[in-house]
Structure 1
Amino acid sequence: MRTTNSPRISGGWRRVGSAAAAATALALAGFGAAAQADAATPHKVSARTIATQVAKAHVQYTNACATSPKKGYAACDALRVTGGTTAFMEKQAAIKGVAPGTISPDATSSTPTGYGPSDLQSAYGLTSAASSKGSGETVAIVDAYNDPNAEADLAAYRSYYGLPACTTSNGCFKKVSQSGSTTSLPSSDSGWAGEISLDLDMVSATCPNCHILLVEAKTASMTNLGTAVNEAVKLGAKFVSNSYGGSESSSDSTYDSSYFNHAGVVITASAGDSGYGAQYPAGSRYVTAVGGTALKQASNTRGWSESVWNTSSTEGTGSGCSAYDAKPSWQTDTGCAKRMIADVSAVADPATGVSVYDTYGASGWNTYGGTSASSPIIASVYALAGTPSSGSYPAQFPYAAAGTSALNDVTTGSNGSCTTSYFCTAGTGYDGPTGLGTPEGTAAFTG
């Protein structure tokens, strides 16, 4: 998924992460609960050989949106794998003792090609919480346009990974328009469908017991997306994820009060996928701005390591000092007088991406990345932590846990060049690209 920090046109907005698949030079990582059937297969080649094969992994991308957007609306910029081999495929080939070339590159994979629920739960200390918590909580996903296959694709993802069914009939899943209608839905869009599948699957992976509310805005304008946020809150969701964004403007303070000022509700927003630079609504003082990391398995106590996601000068997690939004009282970094992005972070690098099942924008299993993945992950971690207290602003919760074992401090990597180092470079403690760090359990996400 890519962020879109290009200028906002007449109030138009872009999806922050629309689907980007695993990229070049992929590092050896745990690549998913996807092949559970192969878990007992002996390693027939050395770790060095596997690493060498994985380093050769490559993919090709295609833009899933065939037409240019209308004036005032943002391009969906949906990217997905159309050829090549992902790191997951390379690793499976190595485990089976076969040459990577025997794994046929195919955009339509019959099995997942990225991290699955058990990987994400393990990486973020959520295995126990995910199995026992989240019941009664509703995580809302706000996106533009309609994905007609959303419920069926969600069912396929959850069935593959052995997660409990989440359907309209059992009351777990609900899809509505920005006005709350279950029948009068927006026009369908194959690009945004990939985004929708990604968001739904990340809620499922992180909080399997949570209910899911999908609110579809009729267009990708801030007015309609913001109206969808309000509808999600109106329908009772205490956790609302937003995987879209655009350049900042002087109108942001108005948007803040109109759409994002919901005390007692968690609202997360993707920090962006175009590298260093602030964007909105991640810049709103009322939301939890979520940055992105590269997540890899490691030989340490945690079993995982993370660094700032930075694929290139134009692709990586967003961060920066807002030009317009006031600094919330709980944010105490001294280099930025206004709102600083981000607050926390989670996996977003397409090279260490997540598995997603989508049959409207794609043809089954794909590997996705971007801060569109990290935003719903963090919203779901909040849901595992429990309902926020009335009147609270949950964006401040992680700040009370700063410097503790409740967060994994990300200290390496950068997402571009900046005058004030921590705006774009990771270090001990708070930094822009990864905020306070990534979850280690749910303790940092409760008031």
Structure 2
Amino acid sequence: MRLVGGVFIVALLTLTVANILPANLGSNVGSSDRREMQPDSIYHPASLSTPGLPPFIPADLRKAYNFLPLYNRNVDGRTTRIAIVDAYGDPTLSSDLAGFDGFTGLPSATVNFYYPNGVPRRTNSNWAVETALDVEWAHSMAPGASIDLVVGVDASLGSIYNAILYVANSLPGDAVLSMSFGLSESLYPTTGSATIASFHQLFVTITSHGTVAVASSGDSGASSCCNIQYPASDPLVLAVGGTSLSLNSDASYSHESAWTGSSAGSSIIYPKPSWQLGLGDSMRDDVDVSYDADPNTGVMVLALGSSFEVGGTSAGAPQWAALLALASQANSIKYGAVNSQLYNLSSYHDVTTGSDGFFSALPGWDYPTGLGTPDANATVTFLGSLSLVATNTNSLQGVIVTTSSLLTINMSALTVSGNVSVVAKNSTTQTTIFTKTYSIQNLKLQNQTTSFQVSFLLNIPISPYSLSSDITIKLVQNVATASVLLTRQLDINGNGSVDIVDVSIMAAVFNSTVGTSTYNPRADFDANGVIDIIDASIAARYFGATDFL
């Protein structure tokens, strides 16, 4: 039996309040512009239900979306902070949240309140329910995380801008930012400082701190291709669409379909980011991922002293934010602009039925549901590593060498593992003269101040002189790249690494040229006929690198 109606008051709720009033905060952001962000939630009074039937409580969605294995490993968000931006606030949040924790069996929540432009002087019931939804359900899925609730004095663009600005400037340690609101791209001003470009710069700062920005896509469905809302349309923001979720009687996952209200489509502002190439058209497409959002399969929320069943894509944003906070804790990583990594993940519930009125759900990525809804345990596990696929072709001394890598970077251990294949062909006859796949295991990335790097060599034993495919893996802010250089074998003495002996052999014949008595072709790494500064720089670049013979 589920508790509905009434006022829930349970002791033990940790709250701190910061009334932040810097005189010039956001003074240049369209304070006279009364366009307002709209909350993306739909609600109605709740009724009694049984496990597996809506309104869902945390235990239902924890099981359905496979959060339980994470909690069994004590992955609950502890040590992380989730920022939530809302407007107007919720005057009964403390008692409602305590009551919600009490009847759902959650531990008490730690919520820190911030008011960048002062405490709101009036309330708004829609935003009160929105605020309760955001806080209660971020806490439901990441019960160990602290919540930083940043409240705008109202929902005007200037007020919301100031709230996000506060996150950018004052909460750099937060793992995630959740935003359950938006406004159609076409409704933003095109001049002044309350433009989309101004907001985008905030997300540049926020993601540079390692904070993931998450936003709901909207609840209007779609009637055309190109009327999506911002901030969900920003390529630095993870856009969350909506589904209708059905569970089995034991609350295990049954199936989902696209929710009719899931706003989706193509941006009229942002071009296609690289991680969406091949999808949709030439512009940034929403959505990226999805979550239960149908108000008829909604979640239980206590707000304003009463209980509600709440839906809308607002329900998904704080829960995806919570999931990414769990990943941050489990993997000791702050992800920042995480979208490109999530597009490499395949362990989603792929939603293939239903539509939002214009776009239909399809196998793989689609507009209303994106990549799908999460398998939380698989998502956290995947985000502990990065995949790196790279292919490079070079030629030297009449040989064409193609190097292909399929590598995994363990983000917590900072190690590289996987397979790299080398195929060498005669450049004239195209005959294959050497092929081998090398197994790379747990090579350690080294801290280079602004990046993490590791280099290694793949020996190519051919005549007249052995070659080497020299690979450097570089990791900068969770983006991995591979560079490949083809040279003669750098490990001249063949002892398995580039060391001082190899450098000494090269130095002893420095400045010698082909045809002279001192010239050593094995030290002419770039095979240009002279042992010069280029060869020395190559030896320095790969000094200490392991040679896979």
TM-score (norm 1): 0.69
Question: How far is 1:382 from its partner?
Answer: 0.5
Cα 1:113–1:273 shift into 2, 3 Å: same
Match of 2:216 among 261, 267, 270: 270
Question: 2:320 — aligned with what?
Answer: 378
Correspondence 1:196-215 to 2 at 5 A: 196-215=131-150
Worse-superposed segment, 231-240 or 209-218: 231-240
Matched-pair contact (CA < 8 Å) for 2:40–2:312: no
Cα 1:300–1:371 shift into 2, 3 Å: same
Question: How far is 1:224 from its partner?
Answer: 2.0
- Greater relative contact order (Cα < 8 A, sep 6+): 1
Residue 335 in structure 1 maps to residue 276 in structure 2: no
Matched-pair contact (CA < 8 Å) for 1:145–1:192: yes
Runs of 5+ consecutive residues of structure 2 not aligned to the other structure: 4-32, 386-549
For residue 189 of structure 1, what is the amino acid of its counterpart?
N
Question: How far is 1:190 from its partner?
Answer: 2.4
Question: How far is 1:274 from its partner?
Answer: 0.5
Cα 1:255–1:75 shift into 2, 3 Å: closer
Question: How far is 1:123 from its partner?
Answer: 1.1
Cα 1:219–1:333 shift into 2, 3 Å: farther
Cα 1:400–1:196 shift into 2, 3 Å: same
1:139 aligned counterpart, secondary structure: strand
Question: 2:244 — aligned with what?
Answer: 294
Question: How far is 1:173 from its partner?
Answer: 1.3
Question: How far is 1:367 from its partner?
Answer: 0.5
Worse-superposed segment, 350-359 or 122-131: 122-131
Question: How far is 1:260 from its partner?
Answer: 5.5
Matched-pair contact (CA < 8 Å) for 2:245–2:297: yes
Distance 2:39 2:325 in 1: 28
Question: How far is 1:150 from its partner?
Answer: 1.5
Cα 1:208–1:392 shift into 2, 3 Å: closer
Match of 2:95 among 152, 165, 168: 152
Question: How far is 1:238 from its partner?
Answer: 1.7
Correspondence 1:27-176 to 2 at 5 A: 34=2, 71-73=34-36, 80-81=43-44, 86=47, 88-89=48-49, 114-130=55-71, 132-133=74-75, 134-166=77-109, 172-176=110-114
Distance 2:133 2:204 in 1: 22
Matched-pair contact (CA < 8 Å) for 1:121–1:130: no
Deviations 1:214-237 (A, max 9, x none): 110112122321321232342232
Residue 254 in structure 1 maps to residue 217 in structure 2: no
Match of 1:177 among 115, 125, 132: 115
Matched-pair contact (CA < 8 Å) for 1:265–1:394: no
Q: Indicate the RMSD between aligned Cα atoms, in angstroms.
A: 2.9
Question: 2:344 — aligned with what?
Answer: 400
Matched-pair contact (CA < 8 Å) for 1:348–1:372: yes
Matched-pair contact (CA < 8 Å) for 1:118–1:127: no
Runs of 5+ consecutive residues of structure 1 not aligned to the other structure: 1-32, 36-69, 96-111, 167-171, 311-315, 418-423
Question: 2:126 — aligned with what?
Answer: 191
Distance 1:298 1:215 in 2: 37
Question: How far is 1:205 from its partner?
Answer: 1.6
Question: How far is 1:78 from its partner?
Answer: 7.1
Cα 1:135–1:186 shift into 2, 3 Å: farther
Matched-pair contact (CA < 8 Å) for 2:142–2:325: yes
Question: How far is 1:279 from its partner?
Answer: 1.1
Cα 1:338–1:304 shift into 2, 3 Å: same
Cα 1:201–1:337 shift into 2, 3 Å: same
2:343 aligned counterpart, secondary structure: helix
1:216 aligned counterpart, secondary structure: strand
Question: How far is 1:254 from its partner?
Answer: 3.2
For residue 348 of structure 2, what is the amino acid of its counterpart?
L
Question: How far is 1:330 from its partner?
Answer: 1.4
Distance 1:203 1:173 in 2: 11
Distance 1:292 1:332 in 2: 23
The structure with the greater share of residues assigned to strand is 2
TM-score (norm 2): 0.56
1:262 aligned counterpart, secondary structure: helix
Cα 1:383–1:348 shift into 2, 3 Å: same
**Percent of residue pairs identical:** 34
For residue 345 of structure 1, what is the amino acid of its counterpart?
S
For residue 81 of structure 1, what is the amino acid of its counterpart?
H
Question: How far is 1:304 from its partner?
Answer: 2.3
